Amino acid sequence: MAVLNYIQAITKALKEEMERDEKVFILGEDVGPRGGVFRATDGLYEQFGEARVLDTPLAESAIAGVGIGAAMYGMKPVAEMQFADFILPAVNQIMSEAARIRYRSNNDWDCPITIRAPYGGGVHGGLYHSQSIEAIFANQPGLKIVMPSSPYDVKGLLKASIRDQDPVLFLEHKRAYRLLKEEVPEEDYTIPIGKAAVKREGSDVTVITYGLCVHFAKQAAEKLEQEGISTEILDLRTVYPLDQEAIIKAASKTGKVLLVTEDNKEGSIIGEVAAIISEHCLFDLDAPIKRLGAPEVPAMPFASKLEKEMLMNSDKIETAIRDLAEF
Amino acid sequence: MVRSVNELGLQRINMPQLGESVTEGTVSTWLVKAGDHIEKYDPIAEVMTDKVNAEVPSSYTGVIKELVANEGDTLEVGQLMCYIEVEGAESGENRTQPEKPEKAPENNAPADKDQSMKNRYSPAVMRIAQENDLDLTQITGSGKGGRITRKDVENAVNNKDQASNQPNVKSQQIPEESQKEQVEDFTPPIIRRKPIKVNEGDREIPVTGLRRTIAQNMVRSKTEIPHAWMMIEVDVTNLVAYRNAEKDQFKENEGYNLSYFAFFLNAVAKELKKFPELNSCWAGDKIIQRKDINLSIAVAHGHELYVPVIKNVDEKSIKGIAKEINELSRKARTGNLTADDMEGGTFTVNNTGSFGSVESMGVINYPQSAILQVESIVKRPVIINDMFAARDMVNLCLSLDHRVLDGVICGAFMSHVKSILENISSDTTPIY
Amino acid sequence: MDNVQVSNEQHLAMYEEMLLARRIDERMWLLNRAGSIPFVVSGQGQEVMQVAASFALDKEVDYILPYYRDLAVVLHFGMTTRDIFLMAYGKAEDPNSGGRQMPNHFGQKKNRIVTQSSPVTTQVPHAAGIALAAKMEGKSLVSFATMGEGSTNQGDFHEGLNFAGVHKLPAIFMVENNKYAISVPLSKQVACENIADRAIGYGMPGIKVDGNDPVAVYQAVKEARDRALNGDGPTLIEAESYRLTPHSSDDDDMTYRTKEEVDYEKSIDGLLQYRKKLMEEGILTEDKEREMEEKLKQEINEATDYAEKAASPDPKTLQDFVYSEEGF
């Protein structure tokens, strides 16, 4: 088993799926000879040629829209948005088209497209290279939003996304690209979309989060274990539609719930998670549901100190878990 | 090692972030060497990352002092590449502005005496109390402000259930399935401490650092290590005679006591040399057998129990061992034991006999794999050659980590220790 | 350019399809004004270009991405009169959406009529995507997207045509210029003289034709299709005519244009002109026309009756087909 970082796991999944199914192809800005600005498609142009690793004009709505057309025809396009921040010109295509095609045609047409986009801060990307955009899309039935937290999950979830018969927005944390490394099996495997995963068992406090924040939560939990505080971590993996069953189970287990996101707190994914818990778990709750997110500023500033202030980290999570444990 | 960078006019050049998602870089070629004079922005090294290959420029004008990273080394962003002696003391803006560690304020406040939350019940607490017919006024809350937590009521329910159904503590079995357990994933169960009520006139003694260390190790040991236990009887009549014959002279010569304990340590060390299995520790996916035989010994002082270490006991004479016991006891009495004195133990011998104990079950000194309790030497009638004889007898009790050790090996070890002790004389065991 | 041969049979067939579309459309207004169906959006005045273009395509292989006025195009590609009335009534059997979408949001996979939405011009990048996929698979077919002239101001028009131009995709983009985007006249929509002029920015030919001239439209689309199949890339066609009805059944066009203007345009309606021409050339006769009208009327009556009586969608199906039923 090889140790891969997060972005290598992406490349591996793309490569294996393209080898497995001729209908899989990639389109986006700089995905060709350059191999992607983050190197996610490194080597794929060389292996599969220009026809299947397509450099597009700088036009996000076309990247999505052309992909949607190809998907309706029967292909399995993987469209890349260079930064999640730049997905907004494509929102009409993603929401009005991709997400609605099956429903509006009464199951006559479908749209099996995967749209990959790097999100998240911590790389000095400033306002427009750091944003979390999942909440914008997270009330669009017909669409699935997958946000993996580790290289192992990346491979299994990206393969599942490409094979999925419906449109999937696959959001990758760009800081995780080279930060997170782990053993990733050579074999072909998929991880089911729509299912959350318990990443750590614990009995005092339940942390529910996703993406890179899972990593921070694990760090905090390890530290707190030495203080005798035992933390359960649920990784949502798919943030839309949510795995209600897993959320209810994890929240009920300890009755003390901390929800974490890197996104601005208000209107974020975790607000919906909190609503599910309050609907279903009242009589298991032993403390108010606690949310930890970014302050309500429009997007991540560039200067290091401002960026750091805004970002989620393991210290913030640790303090919040401890507060809940002591409550 | 920390260098006083600013004092010397030395500055660090660290691995820069060469791309938005890059977290590390590899020094492919140094373009400078120690002693080179360079200008600000001169390239100092070629660095390779997943995204780019780039020349890293110097941030200062000055002389390269030391190349810390080697060619081929992969450094995290922000890790030190080299030192440069900066020209002109005032020239350098203070780039290495030390960041104040923003630590969360440590909450050292002892058990919260605030009881303002005592009567605020969460939905979970209300439900469990009702379902189990619990009187919440009778439960002590462990939460903030004396709040009764869900765990508090769950514990109360468990206690209620167990009151009539106590497990039989005496029948201690050695579990056989311990070989298969997945120790890597082991997380010790967490025991929530309820605040204990302090009554008027009670004395509250703060837990000292040393005491805390021992306490944590003991809890960890008992929760993580599957303890098994065995005891043997040893006839130490010869040892008693030998030691009684020598002790006065020894005291006069050396100025400290010739204790029995030194002989026991000597015998244990000799046998640990033959049975390294007992001189080991469990490390999850492997067992580490220690080369050195460093015996932890328990030394009591007042109400405190210290566990200092005598290093390399197998290389020491009876006198040498006695001397160290004496020295460590003195330090314990004067409160001068250092953390150093307590570190590095590979096996523990506990002189429980000094309290008059004749049988005890030691808790293994984590992360060691066994502890030997030396009990009181008592005169007892023993049958030898079908005749009663008054003999000096002692019990040796061994607690062992059953993940590391089994009965066979420990039995062999114990019988060898017994054999040494029973045959002790000036011939077999010289004092010097 | 004027060498295209259209047989008499073809002329008659084209005329009949145009007439069917017109008569269906007229029936829709009647049903709406009678309170039977909630909404009508029509293509009256654009039937000539729609049918002529369709005849230049291959309805067995080509993909069409119509917009909501393209009734005649989808009829040509295999949607039946009954299907259209099922759609207007929002019945369960409606092949377009099973009663989920408003009328005239066409879609039918078996006839390669690509499902459409209401935000305009989203179909243009889709047409590029389908053409791209067909090209990747080496299939000999084109994608044919239509839109109103108002749509040419959308970003997706620019992005889609540019993409198709860069990758030389087998696609045809036909703008049905009916002079109005709801109430906004052409002069307030675009600054350039012709919509076709925009083609130069995308590296493709821009052809402007009289949308009321069936032969001119047929020829332009035929040539565009040949170019596409030869690997010469996409074409932008602007076909000009006039929207004879208000934007929809909810619109009052007298708030932004005059009765005189509409009356004049009705007098030069392409369908009437085509009828006159066919009559003059003896291709169409009074008898043939009566026969044709009779047949269409019967077809429309039957379809209306059927649709009116057909079952509505079961409320229990509301949550069906949000995702693939095969699950995650």
Structure tokens at C287: 């008898």
CATH class of B209-422: alpha beta
Mean per-residue pLDDT for B40-68? 85
Q: What is the DSSP letter of B358?
A: S
Structure tokens at C162: 């540019």
Q: Name the more confident of B299 and B294.
A: B294
Q: Where are the domains of chain B?
A: 10-86, 209-422
Contact with chain C for residue A103, Cβ under 8 A? yes
Q: What is the DSSP letter of B105?
A: P
Q: Name the more confident of B294 and B105.
A: B294
Q: Are A168 and A300 in contact (CB under 8 A)?
A: no
Rounded Cα gap, residues B363 and B400, in angstroms = 9
Q: What are the residues whose beta carbons fall under 8 Å from the beta carbon of B319, sequence distance 6 or more?
A: B250, B254, B258, B262, B431, B432
**Catalytic site residues of C?**
243, 247, 256
Chain B residues inside the 8 Å CB shell of A285: 122-124
Lowest-confidence region among A177-181, B106-110, B167-171, B337-341: B167-171
The three-state secondary structure class of B98 is coil
Does the domain at residues B10-86 carry the CATH identifier 3.20.20.70?
no
Across A268-278, b (16+ Cβ under 10 Å) vs e yields bbbbbbbebbe
Chain B residues inside the 8 Å CB shell of A225: 187
Task: At B33, give phi and psi (nearest 5°).
Answer: -135, 165
Look-up: residue for tokens 């619109």?
C251
Cβ atoms within 10 A of the Cβ of A134, count? 24
pLDDT band of residue B186 (cuts 50, 70, 90) is very low
Q: State whether A179 and B51 contact (CB < 8 Å).
A: no
Dihedral in degrees, nearest 10, Cα atoms C149, C151, C152, C155: 170
Rounded Cα gap, residues B95 and B345, in angstroms = 44
- Position B33 scores a pLDDT of 92
Structure tokens at A86: 């730049």
Mutation target vs A (from B20, B112, B118, B125; most A CBs, 10 A cutoff): B20
- Ordered structural domains, chain A, with CATH: 2-184 (3.40.50.970), 197-326 (3.40.50.920)
Query: Are A and B touching by the rule of 3+ CB pairs within 8 Å?
Result: yes
Distance from CA of A230 to the nearest CA of B (A): 7
Chains touching C by CB (3 or more pairs below 8 Å)? A
Rounded Cα gap, residues C96 and C108, in angstroms = 6
Q: State whether B23 and A318 contact (CB < 8 Å).
A: no
Chain A residues inside the 8 Å CB shell of C163: 56-57, 59, 62, 66
- Position A32 scores a pLDDT of 96
Q: State whether B149 and A225 contact (CB < 8 Å).
A: no
Chains touching A by CB (3 or more pairs below 8 Å)? B, C
Examine domains B10-86 and B209-422 and report if their fold is the same. no
Q: State whether B123 and A201 contact (CB < 8 Å).
A: no
Chain A residues inside the 8 Å CB shell of C119: 92, 96
Rounded Cα gap, residues C29 and C42, in angstroms = 9
- Ordered structural domains, chain C, with CATH: 8-317 (3.40.50.970)
* pLDDT > 90 in chain A, percent: 100
Cβ under 8 Å to B: A residues 147-186: 174-175, 177-179
Per-residue pLDDT of C288-303, as tens digits, reads 999 999 999 999 999 9
Q: Are A210 and A235 in contact (CB under 8 A)?
A: yes
Q: Does the pLDDT value for residue B3 go beyond 90?
A: no
Mean per-residue pLDDT for A121-129? 94
- Establish, for the pair of chains A and C, how many residue pairs have beta carbons separated by less than 8 Å: 148
- Position C239 scores a pLDDT of 98
Phi-psi region of A308 (alpha: psi -120 to 50; beta: other; left: phi over 0): alpha
- Choose among B17, B124, B192: nearest Cβ to A283: B124
Q: Are C299 and C293 in contact (CB under 8 A)?
A: no
Q: State whether C97 and A106 contact (CB < 8 Å).
A: yes
Which residue of B lies nearest to A172 if distances are taken between CA atoms? B21
Q: State whether B123 and A282 contact (CB < 8 Å).
A: yes
Q: Does the pLDDT value for residue C328 go beyond 90?
A: no
Look-up: residue for tokens 């949502």?
A236
Residue B76's DSSP bridge partners are: B24
Mean per-residue pLDDT for A208-224? 98
Mean per-residue pLDDT for C260-282? 97
Q: Are A323 and A292 in contact (CB under 8 A)?
A: no
Q: Name the more confident of A238 and B407.
A: A238
Chain C residues inside the 8 Å CB shell of A74: 133
Which residue of A lies nearest to B103 if distances are taken between CA atoms? A315
- Establish, for the pair of chains A and B, how many residue pairs have beta carbons separated by less than 8 Å: 77
Per-residue pLDDT of C83-133, as tens digits, reads 999 999 999 999 999 999 999 999 999 999 999 999 999 999 999 999 999
The pairing of beta strand A144-146 with beta strand A181-184: unpaired
Three-point CA angle A248, A249, A255, nearest 5°: 80
- Position C137 scores a pLDDT of 96
Mean per-residue pLDDT for A204-216? 98
Rg (CA), chain B: 31
Contact with chain B for residue A283, Cβ under 8 A? yes
Computed over every residue of chain A, the mean pLDDT equals 97
Q: Which long-range contacts (CB under 8 A, 24 or more apart) does A217-225 make?
A: A217/A260, A217/A314, A217/A317, A219/A314, A219/A317, A219/A318, A220/A314, A220/A315, A220/A317, A220/A318, A220/A321, A221/A321, A223/A314, A223/A318, A224/A318, A224/A321, A224/A322, A224/A325, A225/B187
Lowest-confidence region among A199-213, A313-327, B179-193: B179-193
**Binding-site residues on chain B for chain A (CB distance < 8 A):** 17, 20-24, 50-51, 102, 104, 122-127, 143-144, 147, 149-151, 187, 190-193
Rounded Cα gap, residues A168 and B399, in angstroms = 58
Contact with chain B for residue A230, Cβ under 8 A? yes
The pairing of beta strand C171-177 with beta strand C143-148: parallel
Rounded Cα gap, residues B155 and B397, in angstroms = 34
Computed over every residue of chain B, the mean pLDDT equals 81
| Nearest to A253, CA basis, from A221, A270, A231, A271 | A231
Task: At A291, give phi and psi (nearest 5°).
Answer: -110, 140
Q: How deeply is B204 buried, as exposed, middle or buried, from its count of CB atoms within 10 A (0-12, 13-18, 19+)?
A: exposed
- Position B354 scores a pLDDT of 84
Cβ under 8 Å to C: A residues 187-216: 192-195
Rounded Cα gap, residues A194 and A236, in angstroms = 8
ipTM of the complex: 0.95
Rounded Cα gap, residues B103 and C276, in angstroms = 90
| First and final C-alpha spacing in chain B | 42
Distance from CA of A262 to the nearest CA of C (A): 26
Q: State whether B21 and A178 contact (CB < 8 Å).
A: yes
Q: To which H or E segment does residue C132 belong?
A: helix C123-136
Cβ atoms within 10 A of the Cβ of B429, count? 20
Q: State whether A65 and C117 contact (CB < 8 Å).
A: no
Rounded Cα gap, residues C161 and C158, in angstroms = 5
Mean per-residue pLDDT for C170-194? 96
Which residue of A lies nearest to B125 if distances are taken between CA atoms? A286
DSSP string, C61-73: T-EEE--TT-HHH
Distance from CA of A290 to the nearest CA of C (A): 30
Q: Are C130 and A72 in contact (CB under 8 A)?
A: yes
Q: Are B328 and B265 in contact (CB under 8 A)?
A: no
- Choose among C97, C129, C324: nearest Cβ to A105: C97
Per-residue pLDDT of C17-70, as tens digits, reads 999 999 999 999 999 999 999 999 999 999 999 999 999 999 999 999 999 999
Residue C58's DSSP bridge partners are: none
Residue B85's DSSP bridge partners are: B10, B63
pTM confidence score? 0.71
Amino acid identity of residue A210, one-letter, is: Y
Residue C176's DSSP bridge partners are: C148, C239
Residue A26's DSSP bridge partners are: A53, A78
Residue B280's DSSP bridge partners are: B289
Helix axes C270-280, C8-33, angle to 10 degrees: 140
Q: How deeply is C5 buried, as exposed, middle or buried, from its count of CB atoms within 10 A (0-12, 13-18, 19+)?
A: exposed
Mean per-residue pLDDT for C213-228? 97
Chains touching B by CB (3 or more pairs below 8 Å)? A
Q: Are B405 and B272 in contact (CB under 8 A)?
A: no
Q: To which H or E segment does residue A185 belong?
A: none
Q: Are A198 and A234 in contact (CB under 8 A)?
A: yes
Per-state percent for chain C, helix, strand, coil, to nearest 5: 50, 10, 40
Structure tokens at C227: 């170019």
- Choose among C115, C127, C131: nearest Cβ to A105: C115
Query: Are C and A touching by the rule of 3+ CB pairs within 8 Å?
Result: yes
The three-state secondary structure class of B185 is helix
- Position B217 scores a pLDDT of 73
Mean per-residue pLDDT for B291-297? 92
Cβ atoms within 10 A of the Cβ of C246, count? 22
Max Cα-Cα span within chain A: 59
The three-state secondary structure class of B301 is strand
Q: Are A26 and A51 in contact (CB under 8 A)?
A: no
Residue B63's DSSP bridge partners are: B37, B85
Q: State whether C126 and A65 contact (CB < 8 Å).
A: yes
Q: How deeply is A70 buried, as exposed, middle or buried, from its count of CB atoms within 10 A (0-12, 13-18, 19+)?
A: buried
Q: Does the pLDDT value for residue B90 go beyond 80?
A: no
Cβ atoms within 10 A of the Cβ of B187, count? 13
Rounded Cα gap, residues B48 and B27, in angstroms = 6
- Position B210 scores a pLDDT of 59
